[in-house]
Structures are given as structure tokens and as C-alpha cells.
Amino acid sequence: TWRKLAAAEFTGKEQFQKEVVRHVETTLARSIYNCDDNAAYSGTALAIRDNLVIKWNKTQQHQTLQDQKRVYYLSLEFLMGRTLDNAMLNTGLKDTAREGVSELGFRIEDIIDQEHDAALGNGGLGRLAACFLDSLATLNYPAWGYGLRYRYGIFKQEIINGFQAEVPDYWLDFNPWEFPRHDVAIDIMFYGTVNPGPRDDRGNIKKVWEGGEIVQAIAYDVPIPGYGTACTNNLRLWSSKPSGGEFDFGKFNSGDYEGSIRDQQRAETISAVLYPNDNIDAGKELRLKQQYFWVAASLHDIVRRFKKSHRPWKEFPDQVAIQLNDTHPTLAIVELQRIFIDIENMPWDEAWSIVTRTFGYTNHTVLPEALEKWSVPLVQNLLPRHLQIIYDINLFFLQSVERKFPKDRDLLRRVSVVEEGTPQVLRMAYLAIIGSHKVNGVAELHSDLIKATIFKDFVDIFGTDKFTNVTNGITPRRWLHQANPKLSDLIASKVGGYDFLKDLTKLNVLEKFVGDKTFKKEWMEIKLAAKVKLAKYIKDTTQIAVNPHSLFDIQVKRIHEYKRQQMNIFGVIYRYLRLKEMTPEERKKQVPRTSIFGGKAAPGYWMAKTIIRLITAVGEVVNQDEEINGLLKVIFIEDYNVSKAEIIVPASDISEHISTAGTEASGTSNMKFVLNGGLIIGTCDGANIEITREIGEENIFLLGNLAEHVEDLRHQHRFGKDVVMDPKLREVCDAIEAGRFGPEQTYSGLIASLTIGFDYYLVSDDFSSYVATQDLVDEAYKDQDGWATKSITSVARMGFFSADRAINEYADEIWNVEPTKFPA
């Protein structure tokens, strides 16, 4: 009977409509006669969700039965964006849903647009985790994501008088995509003391960590559907609450009501908010609490699942692969060792061998300010037992180094997890390397750089095989098929259907059509339509009209000095000054351009906020200058996020990826823009280098100094005599200092960074190359046919940058896992 009663997926339009109406009327308790777009969204989401959940349950059952090795992706950030459209496309229900809601009087686009982004991430690292989940499910890998269920995701950005202001992002009002698992509740301890306990089997006195504060972790599960497969994986997010019920009854009964509420809030604070820092270490206690809370809950869960199979511990690494997304989850290494030695009574060496075979560590940055360091006193207080274990891990490691390189005391100092100073600090990247069997960078240049610079000593110690590269990738489902359905359809009509979405190398068939006039025309019409759509969005949100026939030049990413939005806006100012000098005849020959910026600055990053102010100020001047009207517009798109990226990415003619060489580990939006037929202006940095190798250097606009010269240039800035600023850049600075973009004091810090700050990011060194390369862009754009050739050829050669390729590399080289076989 159970089997007969089991829930079944709906098929077909009528059943779908019935489900939507049923959900609006009964689940939401709303009359279908007053159903607005928002209620229609809820009903549609709940109907689609039902089918998803059925697949999800089956997948989990199936994976449990198969009992293969599983992958656990630990990330403090999952920048998922919206779910409904993606869920419909991946399950093949979008056409059914479109027709279904249309007959009910709704447009599917309006319904999709009701959803709030799940913005549990800052930028590249968080979005990468989301793309990887999509690929893991699509490729049928048995994989779980583990993260934190922040009540507030990345803040909402508002631009007020040209400056950034931050508004909290409360996103959980209605979230049909998560399922609370109140039965999966795990107690997590902080603080307390370590005391001697009883003797273990081997006669050693055990160490007992006790007497701390206890917080409960509650699991919330999110289904992750693969594209064109039944495989639906799980993303488990932990939420914190006070342990032992809602209130501290002791305090409550003794009349200390406020105190009991305070304790409750203290517990809930742990998962309250995402730290809004991108590529910068904050070193705050609450952040360390978040990390341990999430890591301890996840490991408890993973170990419990392993134990259900009744295998011997030594098989743990054959059943479990844990990937650390940057150093944020490094405590997982320590926690697993603690579970093994303190709770499961394993000897140290046996435990450590299992631990190191379990973990892989992905590094995402070489920037010194982004490398995580925790103060020893802070860790001592919050996690006293873990600190002891870290000291032991470090001791045994240093002893092995001493054996291999006797008497090299400076080496021991350099590679120690504990950095001397006041206070001492723990270098988390070193701990992650020591506790993992593989360490990878995220693009070739970056993987080479970490081996040659920040981790050089560790290559000498562990050998080069421990260090590898897995170049990042993006999911073509969201970033082509979902964001740009017209382009996806056109491609499908040429390459023989939609198989390319599962094997992106199939795009290469497009090269056959570069000479096809009608195809080229359709291609460029789709680009224009995407630009029209973005222009409409800009008009609706800023009241500024931009010309869709102008060259759309886009830079959207977190605002950071190393990403050099300042160089871009200086270039815009330079262009403006030239336009102002021109005669009307000369102006007629210019290519009209729309410079589009977007991105958030970390709330405490003053220089980044100044850069935003300069961009908006330049816009205020340029956009209303009638003399050059139409030839230049400057737009700052407020609150850049994943759903806005889906509108912006298809609309670029050119996008900017102009970080100082050697600073951007990979970049992933570069891949998204090119996959949508936009060209790149960029530096020889991160994945730009591999993009160039794949698409050909005739199809990219490269500029600036190479990574190998950066150090020398910086040295010259500091110690060279007669260091002069590039004259073009000088002219730009003069215009700013003359107050042409508002009070000069607003920008004094920004100007100072180029002069008395020694121009650390080499804007002056790269500026003339940047300006000259932008001129080449204009020239190339005048030849629309040549431009179309570049665009099509580039897309045809982008197959390598699928996240599917990246995930298969992780599976083969790091995790040693196989896809699950699904019954047909």
C-alpha cells in the first residue's frame, strides 16, 4: 500500500495548473480570485518544488543504498541567486509552466521576477560554490554542500547622493526552497576548559574538554537539481539556536526574563549575518564562532553517516572526500582529529593518516591581507582543546621538517603554523596544507604563483605532487541557457540540440558557421536584444536613457583596488576630456560608448567606497553634458547581484577584467561574458590567460604589465628616483583635483594612493596601455562583421570553461569519486 500511495510527480500542463491553484488556495490560504504575481510565484514555486522533492527523496535513498564514496563541499558561502527558473529548466518543466501560468493570466517572466535572491556569499568564491553544486548534480556525483543559513545575506546596496549605503538583506520571509530538519539538531560547545580525565586503553590520561557554552545547530536542507537527470543533491545549511529549548528556564523562572532573551540572542547571533568582506581577513571572534559552529555540525553529520555503514575507520577516506573552499573551514581538520583521538580513542598517527587522506584544500587568493590568521589568545579562549591539537599537529610537522632539512631553523620559523609576534597568530593556510592530501589553485597562473611564492617552502617539504591546478568553470545552464535563452536556442539550432549544455566542448561546431551571413545577423540581433533589455532596466531604475547601439563596456564585480575599477573610471575621464576638445566633425567619427559599472564595496573599505563615489560623480557630469551627448554615458547599477548579472552578462560588447597581473586568482565572470558573445579587455591575469589560449589572441584585448614584472615595478615606485606619473593619468588627476567631479577632498585619498601610497596596484604603469587598448576596441567595433566573427569564434572555443570540466577534474585528481549510476 505504501508504494501505491507514494507521491507522484505531476506531468503536463493541466496537472501543473491544478497544483498551482491547490497551493495558492490551501497551502497559502489565498483566494485564487485575488492572486497577484507574488501569490502566483508562490503557487508555482510550491508546485515545481513538489516534483523536485520527489526526485530528491529518491536520489537520497538511491545514494544511501549505493553507499559509494561521497563528496562534501564545505563553503561558508553559497551565492545561489534565484531558484525557480533554474529548477524549471533543470527538471525540464519550464515550457509546461510557461503555458500553464499563461492560461491563468500570468507571464512566467513576471513570476520568476518575484523571487528574492539567495545571496549567501560575497562574490567569486561563493558563486563558484553554487556553480559547482549545479555541476555535481548534473554529473550524478553523490555530493553534499555544507554551509551556514545566514538570516541576513550580503547587504543590499543603495546609492544615496552618489555614495554606497548598506541595508540589511532579510531574505527568509518566504523561502519555499528550504526544509527545516528539526530532528537533525547537534549540540556545539564553545569556551570551557580542558581537564585531565580517565586513562584510555593504552594507559594515557585523556584530555576532557568540558564546561563550555552550548549552542544547537539545526539543519535546513535545500534540494539541488541536476540538469536533465533525476539526480537531486542536498545542500545542508546550519542555523543556530540556544540549546535546550527556547529560553533559559533558570533565568526565566528567577525573573531574569531579559537575561534569558539575551542568551537566546547570543546563540542566534552565530548564524545571523554573512561577513561582507571579500578578499580581506577581519579576524573577529564571531567569525571564528561561525566557522567552528558550521564545521563541527557538518563533521558530526558526516561521521554519523559513515558510522551507519559499520565499516572500520580506516575506510573513512574511501567513503568520504571533504573539500575546503578556502581556509574558512580549516578547523574541520582539527575537529576530525579531535573526534578520532578524544572521542573514538584512536591513536594519533592512525587518526592523522585518515584525516590527511580525507581533506583537499582550494586556495583562492595570494593577497596577503586575505590570508586568514587567528590570534592564539582568541582560539585559546574559544576552542582550548583545538588549540592543543593544533600545537601537536604543528609540532609533529616541524619535527618531520627538521628530519628532512636538519638545522634549517629559519625554515622552521617560516613554515610554522604559529607565527611569532604579539599576539602569536595561527596561519590557517599552512594548517590547511599540512592537513590535506591535495592543495589546488583556481587557474594555471595562480597555481604556479602559489607554488613559487606563498607556499614555496611547502613544495620543498611535501614535493610538487601535492600541489595541483583546477581551473575554475561556470555552469552553462544558468549562465547561458537561463540567462540568455535566445542565444542558447540559436546555438542549439546549429550544433544539433541542447546536448552542448551537458558537454560544452560541443560548442566548437559553431566555428563552421562563422561565414554564414544569416547566422551572423541572428547572432548580432540577439546581442542587440540583450542590450535593449539592459537599457530598459537602466531606464526603469535610473531614468537615464542609454543608446543600445553604443558600445556597452561593462565592469561588474566586487569593488577592490586590485581589480582596478579606478583605472577604468580614470580611462572614462580621459575619454571625456578628449571628447571635450574635439570639433563636432571629429566627434562624429567616434564610437559611442556606455560605461557600465556595478559592485559592492565592503562596508569598512573606505577606498572602495571612494571609487564608487567617483564613478557616480563622473556619471553626473558626463550624462548631462549636452556637448558630448550620446557619445559617452556612465552608469552605476545599484545592488549588483546574481539575478542582475543574468540581465547584464548577455548584454556586454566588452567587459573589463583588468586586475594588476598576479592578483586575481582566476575570475569567473570573464568566462560568463565570453560565453555570451562579449569580448574582453583584460590583463594577463587569472583565467584571462587560459581564455586567451583557448579563443586565440586575435579575439581578446590584452593590456598591461606581466605578473613577473610587478615586484620590480613596485620596488621602483618606492626606491627609484624621478618616479613620474604617466602623463595621461596626470591629466586625469588634475581634472579631479580641479574639482570637475565635485569637491576635490572627496578623492584626496584615492589620489594619494597613486602618489604617496606608491601606486601599489600599478595604475600608472598600465594606464597608457589601457587607454591605447581601448582605442583598439573602438577601431575593432567599427568593423561589425569582424566583431561578430570574433564573438562567434570565442564562444565556439569556450567549452573548456564549463564547471562540469572542473568538477570532473576534482573527482579524478582529488576526490577519487565516481558518478552514481541511476536506473533509467
What residues pair up with 565 in beta bridges, in sequence order? none
Residues 6+ apart with CB under 8 A from 666: 124, 364, 442, 443, 446, 471, 472, 686, 687
Decide: is 153 part of the binding site for ligand 26Q (CB under 6 A): no
Cell of 268: 542566534
Minimum distance of ligand 26Q from residue 261's CB (angstroms):
28
| Residue among 85 and 169 whose Cβ is closer to ligand 26Q | 169
Active-site residue, from 151, 385, 563, 728: 563
Contact region with ligand 26Q (CB under 6 A), list: 256-264, 273-281, 524-532, 697-705: 273-281
Applying CB under 6 A, which of residues 365, 469, 565, 652 lies at the interface with ligand 26Q?
365
Minimum distance of ligand 26Q from residue 666's CB (angstroms):
4
Cell of 104: 491563468
Applying CB under 6 A, which of residues 117, 248, 278, 639 lies at the interface with ligand 26Q?
278
In angstroms, the Cα distances linking 550 to 509, 554, 588 are: 30, 12, 13
Active-site residue, from 23, 338, 364, 451: 364
Minimum distance of ligand 26Q from residue 462's CB (angstroms):
22
| Structural contact between residues 810 and 323, judged by C-beta atoms closer than 8 angstroms | yes
In this structure, the number of other CB atoms found within 10 A of the CB of residue 531 comes to 22
Minimum distance of ligand 26Q from residue 256's CB (angstroms):
34
| Residue among 75 and 114 whose Cβ is closer to ligand 26Q | 75
Beta strand 418-419 pairing with 143-148: unpaired
| Residue among 442 and 788 whose Cβ is closer to ligand 26Q | 442
Cell of 58: 529518491
Phi/psi region, residue 223 (left: phi>0; alpha: psi -120 to 50; beta: rest), is beta
Cell of 89: 529548466
Active-site residue, from 70, 149, 506, 557: 557
Cell of 264: 537566546
Site string for ligand 26Q, 218-257 (x = CB under 6 A): ----------------------------------------
Minimum distance of ligand 26Q from residue 87's CB (angstroms):
24
What residues pair up with 239 in beta bridges, in sequence order? 218
Determine the distance from the C-alpha atom of residue 321 to the mean position of all C-alpha atoms in its chain, rounded to a whole number: 21
Q: Which residue in the block uniquely carries the three cell numbers 601537536?
A: 392
| Residue among 664 and 726 whose Cβ is closer to ligand 26Q | 664
558 is catalytic: yes
In angstroms, the Cα distances linking 680 to 480, 635, 657, 694, 790 are: 17, 19, 7, 13, 11
Contact region with ligand 26Q (CB under 6 A), list: 381-389, 666-674, 691-699, 723-731: 666-674
Applying CB under 6 A, which of residues 153, 662, 667, 678 lies at the interface with ligand 26Q?
667
Backbone angles phi, psi at 300, to 5 degrees: -55, -45
What residues pair up with 205 in beta bridges, in sequence order? 199
Minimum distance of ligand 26Q from residue 602's CB (angstroms):
9
| Residue among 71 and 736 whose Cβ is closer to ligand 26Q | 71
Torsion of CA 674, 675, 678, 684, to 10 degrees: 0
Contact region with ligand 26Q (CB under 6 A), list: 506-514, 518-526, 662-670, 793-801: 662-670
Site for ligand 26Q, residues 462 to 481, rule: CB under 6 A: 472
| Residue among 287 and 486 whose Cβ is closer to ligand 26Q | 287
Using DSSP's 3-state secondary structure scheme, residue 507 falls into helix
182 is catalytic: no
Decide: is 277 part of the binding site for ligand 26Q (CB under 6 A): yes
Contact region with ligand 26Q (CB under 6 A), list: 493-501, 574-582, 658-666, 711-719: 658-666
Applying CB under 6 A, which of residues 17, 63, 233, 279 lies at the interface with ligand 26Q?
279
- Tell which residue, 510, 534, 532, 535, has the closest CA to residue 523: 510
| Residue among 656 and 726 whose Cβ is closer to ligand 26Q | 656
| Structural contact between residues 483 and 650, judged by C-beta atoms closer than 8 angstroms | yes
Decide: is 656 part of the binding site for ligand 26Q (CB under 6 A): no
Beta strands in 191-287, from DSSP E residues, in sequence order: 193-199, 205-210, 213-225, 232-242
Site string for ligand 26Q, 370-389 (x = CB under 6 A): x-x-----------------
| Residue among 156 and 657 whose Cβ is closer to ligand 26Q | 657
What residues pair up with 74 in beta bridges, in sequence order? 146, 324
Three-state secondary structure of 300-334: HHHHHHHHCCCCCHHHHHHHEEEEEECCCCCHHHH
Q: Which residue in the block uniquely carries the three cell numbers 526603469?
A: 540
563 is catalytic: yes
| Residue among 354 and 687 whose Cβ is closer to ligand 26Q | 687
| Residue among 164 and 290 whose Cβ is closer to ligand 26Q | 290
| Residue among 241 and 438 whose Cβ is closer to ligand 26Q | 438
Minimum distance of ligand 26Q from residue 668's CB (angstroms):
5
Site string for ligand 26Q, 104-143 (x = CB under 6 A): ------------------xxxx--x---------------
Determine the distance from the C-alpha atom of residue 413 to the mean position of all C-alpha atoms in its chain, rounded to a whole number: 34
Cell of 384: 582550548
- Omega before 223 cis (within 30°)? no
Applying CB under 6 A, which of residues 664, 690, 726, 766 lies at the interface with ligand 26Q?
664
Phi/psi region, residue 725 (left: phi>0; alpha: psi -120 to 50; beta: rest), is beta
For the residues of 612-634, what is the DSSP string, one character each?
HHHHHHHHHHHTT-GGGTTTEEE
536 is catalytic: no
In angstroms, the Cα distances linking 454 to 660, 799, 814 are: 17, 31, 21
**Residue of this chain nearest to ligand 26Q (CB atom):** 124
| Residue among 628 and 648 whose Cβ is closer to ligand 26Q | 648
Site for ligand 26Q, residues 604 to 633, rule: CB under 6 A: none
Applying CB under 6 A, which of residues 475, 668, 753, 791 lies at the interface with ligand 26Q?
668
Query: Residue 213 and residue 382: Cα distance in Å, rounded?
Result: 10
In this structure, the number of other CB atoms found within 10 A of the CB of residue 492 comes to 15
Applying CB under 6 A, which of residues 147, 678, 686, 704 lies at the interface with ligand 26Q?
686
Count of residues that interact with ligand 26Q, criterion CB under 6 A: 24
Site for ligand 26Q, residues 287 to 326, rule: CB under 6 A: 287
| Residue among 128 and 754 whose Cβ is closer to ligand 26Q | 128
Decide: is 19 part of the binding site for ligand 26Q (CB under 6 A): no
Cell of 430: 599552512
Let me know how long the chain is: 824
Decide: is 364 part of the binding site for ligand 26Q (CB under 6 A): yes
Contact region with ligand 26Q (CB under 6 A), list: 276-284, 342-350, 490-498, 673-681: 276-284
55 is catalytic: no
Active-site residue, from 668, 683, 773, 820: 668
Active-site residue, from 672, 728, 790, 797: 672
Site for ligand 26Q, residues 418 to 457, rule: CB under 6 A: 442
| Structural contact between residues 649 and 624, judged by C-beta atoms closer than 8 angstroms | no
Contact region with ligand 26Q (CB under 6 A), list: 104-112, 238-246, 277-285, 503-511: 277-285
- 682: exposed, middle or buried (C-beta count within 10 Å: 0-12, 13-18, 19+)? buried
Half-sphere exposure of 280 (CA within 13 A, CB side): 16
Catalytic residues: 364, 557-558, 563, 668, 672
Question: Using CB under 6 A as the criterion, which residues of the chain lie in contact with ligand 26Q when the complex forms?
Answer: 122-125, 128, 275, 277-279, 281-282, 287, 364-365, 370, 372, 442, 472, 664-668, 686
